[in-house]
């Protein structure tokens, strides 16, 4: 997980929802690192935890190196499996234990699998967090919750198949599609993120594409969920929306990444080029 300093209040909430180990990468200046230290030392919730690792990357340059931070956090993981999340998400209560059981049930030790935790979002700063799937579905029907990025980028999570998830009672496989970017649990030896992607755009899409190229199976968990909490737009998404040159550079980087995939995976990577051309 990789917070900006202004979102650190989420960390305490996450700790209340997730009792397992956490590897947290922070992108801070010297002054912000001192501020974070005071914040953590003054937090009863954080000080009571002995299984949270804080890994500071000091600020440099104008872009937010999101994938570098993800890799820093991943490299410090000392458990066999890791759930790859972001600071803006609150996992459901009990997700840690549910994932531990799913590891055994789905024989993760002997198979390349990425377990998908369906992602939802709320636009409300005060949310009565659903304590069960039934409660979540009720809030979804009432319009308190939405599937994640439903309003702006449905392709990112459409392959999760939320319609099927509503009634699913057992894990089910889904196929990779263009722009798929679910939140997943994988083995610790899974591929790292491509650190060339900085700021906003394609940073997770490229990682999921890499998992698919390495023949990972995407398996959606029927009783798992996480909820994105609202926050002010990031500086990077604002630049993406307002700066044409930013978008041109991202397009060039995407093409470079796809060419790299073709060289590494040969004919099998052709579908990524085709999918991008058709999207």
* Predicted pLDDT of residue 266: 78
The predicted-structure confidence for 66-104, as pLDDT tens digits, reads as follows 999 999 999 999 999 999 999 999 999 999 999 999 999
* Predicted pLDDT of residue 238: 55
For 90-106, give one letter per residue: b (16+ CB within 10 A) or e.
Answer: bbbbebbebbeebbeeb
Return the axis-axis angle of helices 244-265 and 203-213, rounded to nearest 10°.
10
* Predicted pLDDT of residue 74: 97
* Predicted pLDDT of residue 195: 86
Domains of the chain with bracketed CATH: 3-272 (3.90.550)
Confidence of residue 180 (pLDDT cuts 50, 70, 90): very high
User: What is each CA distance from 104 to 13, 131, 176, 181, 182, in whole angstroms?
Assistant: 28, 24, 24, 24, 21
On whether the CB atoms of residues 162 and 225 are closer than 8 A, the answer is: no
* Predicted pLDDT of residue 232: 56
Residue 162 has pLDDT above 50, yes or no: yes
Percent of the chain with pLDDT over 90: 67
Cα separation, 152 vs 139, in Å, equals 20
3-state SS, residue 78? coil
Question: Structure pTM?
Answer: 0.90
* Predicted pLDDT of residue 247: 74
The Cβ-side half-sphere exposure at 278, using a 13 Å CA radius, reads 9
Q: Is 197 exposed, middle or buried (0-12, 13-18, 19+ CB in 10 A)?
A: buried
CB atoms within 10 A of CB 204: 22
Stronger pLDDT, 105 or 241, i.e. the higher one: 105
175-179: average pLDDT: 93
CB atoms within 10 A of CB 81: 18
């Amino acid at each position: 997980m990789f917070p900006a300093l202004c979102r650190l209040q989420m960390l305490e909430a996450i700790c209340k929802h997730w009792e397992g180990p956490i590897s947290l990468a922070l992108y801070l200046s010297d002054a912000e690192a001192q501020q974070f230290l005071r914040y953590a030392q003054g937090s009863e919730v954080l000080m009571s935890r002995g299984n949270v690792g804080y890994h500071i990357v000091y600020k440099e340059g104008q872009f937010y190196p999101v994938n570098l931070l993800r890799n820093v956090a991943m490299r410090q993981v000392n458990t066999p499996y890791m759930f790859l999340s972001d600071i803006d998400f609150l996992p459901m209560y009990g997700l840690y234990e549910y994932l531990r059981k799913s590891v055994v049930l789905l024989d993760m030790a002997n198979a390349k699998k990425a377990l998908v935790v369906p992602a939802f979002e709320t636009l409300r700063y005060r949310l009565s967090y659903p304590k069960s799937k039934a409660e979540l579905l009720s809030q979804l029907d009432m319009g308190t919750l939405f599937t994640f990025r439903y309003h702006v980028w449905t392709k990112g999570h459409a392959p999760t198949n939320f319609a099927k998830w509503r009634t699913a009672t057992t894990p089910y496989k889904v196929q990779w599609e263009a722009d798929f970017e679910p939140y997943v649990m994988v083995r610790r030896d899974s591929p790292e993120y491509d650190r060339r992607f900085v700021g906003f755009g394609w940073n997770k899409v490229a990682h999921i594409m890499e998992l698919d190229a390495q023949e990972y199976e995407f398996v959606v968990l029927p009783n798992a969920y996480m909820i994105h909490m609202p926050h002010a737009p990031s500086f990077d998404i604002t630049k993406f929306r307002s700066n044409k040159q930013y978008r041109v550079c991202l397009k060039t980087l995407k093409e470079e990444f796809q060419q790299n995939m073709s060289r590494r995976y040969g004919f099998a990577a052709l579908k990524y080029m085709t999918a991008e051309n058709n999207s």
